[in-house]
Amino acid sequence: MKAVKRDSDNFPQARGGFTVIEVLVAVTVLLISAIAFVPLFVFIAEGSQANRARLTAANLATTAVEQIRSMPYNEVGTVGGNPPGAIQRTRTVTVNGMSFTITTDIWWVDDPGDDPAMGSDPIPYDYKRVRVTVSAPGLFNGSAAVTADLDTLVSLEGEEEAFPGGNLRAVAIRGWRTSPGDKVPVEGVQVELTSGPDAPQSLWTDDQGRALFAVLDAGTYTVEVDPSGIGMMVCPGQSPASKGVAEGANTEAEFEVEVPCRLALELKDAFTGLPVSASGTAMLDSPFNGGDRTVNFTAGADGVVPKELFGKIWPVGDGYAGVYGLLVTARGYKTYKLEEAPDPKWSGRFSGPGETRAIPVALTPTAAVGVTDSGGNPLPGVLVEAFCRTYTYSGSAWAFADGPPVSGTTDQQGVCRLPLPDNDPPPPIPSPPQAGNTYSLYCVRATAIGRGTVEKPDAFWVHGEDQYVSPGVKIQSYIIIFTQ
């Protein structure tokens, strides 16, 4: 029997393989898996770099300490510091492409073991304490971190030597404390002698909150402290301080520092509760002499005056005696006084250092317009518009120009309150008028659905946050009556 050859035998057999969709799915799975390991790789890289940085920093700190120990005792000090010397307090070195900051602090140390029975040591500079701190920026975030910190003591061989001059010790303590005797020292506060016979000099307080300026020529010195480098502020009125230094005597200057508080304002209409977008002035009445703070502001659509405008505020409350006052004046609104507010949202005190408070400030518009029907019944929901009309005398006649309207809607009592600035200038009308004389009044227009529109030209004026209809006659509200 003869075999028959089929046409299909001329074609190759189908071979197995991957479709495009299968390849895309595989690649996606691989990418997701790789991304999942990225944090691990970052963690390993950070750890590796941190270990290298710590090792290098330790070597740099050890080298710096050994160099200082090999120096003559009288040369162990910082440039512009006390004790004085040739050592730069801060310097930067680069090792293997990594930047390190080396900070050297040197302080006089008063050994309490040799204090006389009377309590005043005439030689409070018994030996020197040296601290070398090395920091380096992180690999990814760039923020500096302390990677090495070494302390050592340097003393003079033999007996103590008394030098001519006097001594001034600055002490920095926390201001906020719950008991009067609870004084917490603050380290890292910059202290400067800005004027005086041996000025300028700079030191940073040690872990006891002290900075001793020893062997100063007698005279009067100005001492200033700056704790901003550690996120604190000095109590208002305490810095700068003037201190006298006498020959052979010790003088102490104590400063209170604390983490500052912040204050933001939320301006709201006292009647509608809506945010007030206005410009004005806010004054923080301080319990410290000369500590009042006045700022100009322009509140946004949310009515917020940001905390950055007031800046750092010293905390007062249970841990520090005092009460703040607040005075807010906004264009078109009556002056707000915290102590006179019917429902104040702030006591003028803080709960503790570092607190940020957002204070609601309820502002009352300067003008009010009441709308009634002929029977004296209030009409709610009426659109009220007020615009300032300014008159100018040309020499032969009066001409006027109208400003943009300020509008609102009457409430359930038929009253619409409008934030209208003072008229400038207000009446009375100059008599006899001279060319260039001006005065201004507010005109009012009320529109009620189904009742039409009532317009009152030259209705009233606003002066000193009060509403007038004639000279010396104040009103609480200007009344518009619909007769229809």
CA dihedral sign of residues 36, 39, 43, 45: positive
Per DSSP, the three-state class of 293 is strand
> Which range, of 43-52, 365-374, 403-412, 430-439, averages the lowest pLDDT?
43-52
Rounded CA Rg of the chain:
38
Residue 1 pLDDT grade (very low, low, confident, very high; cuts 50, 70, 90): very low
- Which pLDDT tens digit goes with each residue over 148-190? 889 999 887 765 565 778 999 999 999 999 887 788 999 999 9
pLDDT (0 to 100) of residue 138 = 66
Which residues pair with residue 152 across a beta bridge?
130
Mean pLDDT throughout 343-359? 94
What is the spatial distance between Cα 254 and Cα 410, in angstroms, rounded to a whole number?
Answer: 60
CB atoms within 10 A of CB 39: 9
Nearest 5°: the CA angle 278, 280, 283 is 135
Q: What is the largest CA-CA distance in the chain?
A: 140
Q: The CATH number of 367-482 is which of 2.60.40, 3.90.380, 3.10.110, 2.30.29? A: 2.60.40
CATH 2.60.40.1120 segments of the chain = 262-363
| pTM given for the model | 0.78
Tell me the fold of 69-111+123-155+164-258: Immunoglobulin-like (2.60.40)
Q: How high does pLDDT run on average in the chain?
A: 88
Q: What is the layout of strands, in order, in the sheet containing 250-258?
A: 210-216, 166-174, 250-258, 233-234
Rounded to 5 degrees, φ, ψ at 407 are -125, 160
DSSP structural state of residue 338? G
- Which pLDDT tens digit goes with each residue over 97-146? 888 999 999 999 887 766 654 456 667 888 899 999 998 876 555 555 76
- Which pLDDT tens digit goes with each residue over 246-295? 998 999 999 999 999 999 999 999 999 999 999 999 999 999 988 889 99
CB 222, CB 196: distance < 8 Å: yes
What is the spatial distance between Cα 162 and Cα 177, in angstroms, rounded to a whole number?
Answer: 38
CB 368, CB 418: distance < 8 Å: yes
CA 69 to chain centroid: 43
Give me the helices (H) in 267-404, please.
307-310
CATH 2.60.40.10 segments of the chain = 69-111+123-155+164-258
Q: Which residues in 175-209 belong to E strands, given as ranges?
A: 190-195, 201-204
What CATH number belongs to 262-363? 2.60.40.1120
Per DSSP, the three-state class of 458 is strand
What is the spatial distance between Cα 7 and Cα 24, in angstroms, rounded to a whole number?
Answer: 37
